[in-house]
Amino acid sequence: MTVLIVAEHDGAQLGVATLNAIAAAQKLGDVHVLVAGAGCLNVAEQVSKINGVAKVLHADAAHFAELLAEEIAPLVVSLAVPYSHLVAAASAFGKNIMPRVAALLDCSQVSDLTEIVDGKTFVRPIYAGNAFTTVQSDEPKLVLTIRASAFPAAVAGSLNAPIEAVAATPAQNLSRFVGRELTVSDRPELTQARVVVSGGRALGSAEQFNALLTPLADALGAAIGASRAAVDAEYAPNDAQVGQTGKIVAPELYFAIGISGAIQHVAGMQDSKIIVAINKDPDAQIFNVADFGMVGDLFEIVPELTEKLKSI
């Protein structure tokens, strides 16, 4: 069996979650990776060096520049014949494009899978991670999106896979790119960080959120996350939200600070290796999943913790 992975990139760098998808897909067969874009040969070259990639398909055209679903899905479909599985990471990019591919091919999609049992059988979470379902299909072709945090990341090696240019499909012109506003940060990317420091509504204001969590995150080299309540109250940007409807993270160490631990938040972080909860309510649900819990006033605890970590 041969698998086609649709690579996510920004024109210069490969999206990190694609590395996890590459590592996961090796369990299914030979891995080919499609790099579509405008002037993105450099990304195709990066991909060709990654261990486990047998071939890179490179499609270059102006209408692929912004990786719009309407343009990329027909391209993937045009290449689909030899492949048993069409795969992407379950990032905003993969979630947007792959169901469109699946519908055009009239095949099923397994979303956000966490385990590959075999080429027909997969495990995925449902009900905000409160249950895991094993699903199966005998279809000749399947579309898969992969939960990056459930698989290791592929790494660059010493071999170079061949890069093959593929023909661009015609422009669909159904949608037009207007603009993009990205959150600028020099912190590690949230879904890839070794340590994540997350804050909730109890931080009280955007000023206090930043004043308390930024120094702690600096001391730990951590990414900053947030609960939905903190995002809705505008303490943190939307793309910092951890949970069922935000990002799924599984760092080595996760700090939940002033977060009650609602089902929807826990869905996004329960696979973290070590969870630390700091909350003044001893009955907060977060303590049911925390390895180390501390009951008390976060406005005293967090600065003290930051100071002591700095002196280590």
Partner 1 sequence: MKALVAVKRVVDYNVKVRVKADGSGVDIGNVKMSMNPFDEIAVEEAVCLKEAGKISEIVAVSLGEKKCEDVLRTALAMGADRAIHVETDAELDSRAVSKILQKMVQNEQPQIIVLGKQAIDDDANQTAQRLAALLNAPQATFASKVELGADEVVVTREIDGGLETLALKLPAVISTDLRLNEPRFVKLPNLMAAKKKPLEKQTIEDLGVDISGSLKTVSVAEPKARQAGVKVANVSELIEKLAAAKAI
Q: Which of residues 78-137 bind partner 1 (CB under 8 A)?
A: 91-93, 95-104, 106, 108-112, 121, 125-137
**What b-and-e string marks burial along 239-277, b requiring 16 or more CB atoms within 10 Å of the CB?**
ebbbbbebbbbbbebbbbbbbbbbebbbbbbbbbeebbb
Closest CA to 271 of 240, 242, 241, 236: 242
End-to-end distance of the chain based on CA atoms, in angstroms?
Answer: 51
220 in contact with partner 1 (CB under 8 A): yes
Q: How far is the CB of 243 from partner 1 (least distance, A)?
A: 10
Element (H, E) at 231: helix 228-232
Task: Draw the binding track, 234-253, toward partner 1 (x: CB under 8 A; -: no contact).
Answer: ---xxx----xx-x----xx
Distance set, CA 199 to CA 228, 236, 288 (Å): 10, 9, 18
| Choice between 37 and 125, CB closer to partner 1 | 125
46 assigned binding-site residue = no
Q: How far is the CB of 170 from partner 1 (least distance, A)?
A: 13
Give the three-class secondary structure for 190. Answer: coil
Task: Return d(Cα 149, Cα 271) in angstroms, integer.
Answer: 8
According to CB under 8 A, which one of 82, 118, 176, 283 is a site residue for partner 1? 176
Burial of 225 (0-12, 13-18, 19+ CB in 10 A): buried
According to CB under 8 A, which one of 158, 183, 186, 283 is a site residue for partner 1? 183
According to CB under 8 A, which one of 273, 281, 297, 310 is a site residue for partner 1? 273
* Other CB atoms within 10 A of residue 194 CB: 13
208 assigned binding-site residue = no
Within residues 54-73, the interface with partner 1 by CB under 8 A covers: 68-70, 73
| Choice between 83 and 122, CB closer to partner 1 | 122
Task: Draw the binding track, 135-174, toward partner 1 (x: CB under 8 A; -: no contact).
Answer: xxx-x---------------------------------xx
Inter-residue contact 16 to 89 (CB < 8 Å): no
241 assigned binding-site residue = yes
Q: Which residue shows structure tokens 């001893």? A: 282
| Choice between 126 and 167, CB closer to partner 1 | 126
Q: How far is the CB of 43 from partner 1 (least distance, A)?
A: 16
| Choice between 88 and 161, CB closer to partner 1 | 88
Determine the interface stretch with partner 1 among 18-26, 47-55, 179-187, 206-214 (rule: CB under 8 A).
Answer: 179-187
Inter-residue contact 286 to 308 (CB < 8 Å): no
Within residues 274-303, the interface with partner 1 by CB under 8 A covers: 274-276, 287, 289-295, 301
Question: Which residues define the annotated binding site for FAD?
Answer: 201, 227-228, 241-245, 258-265, 279
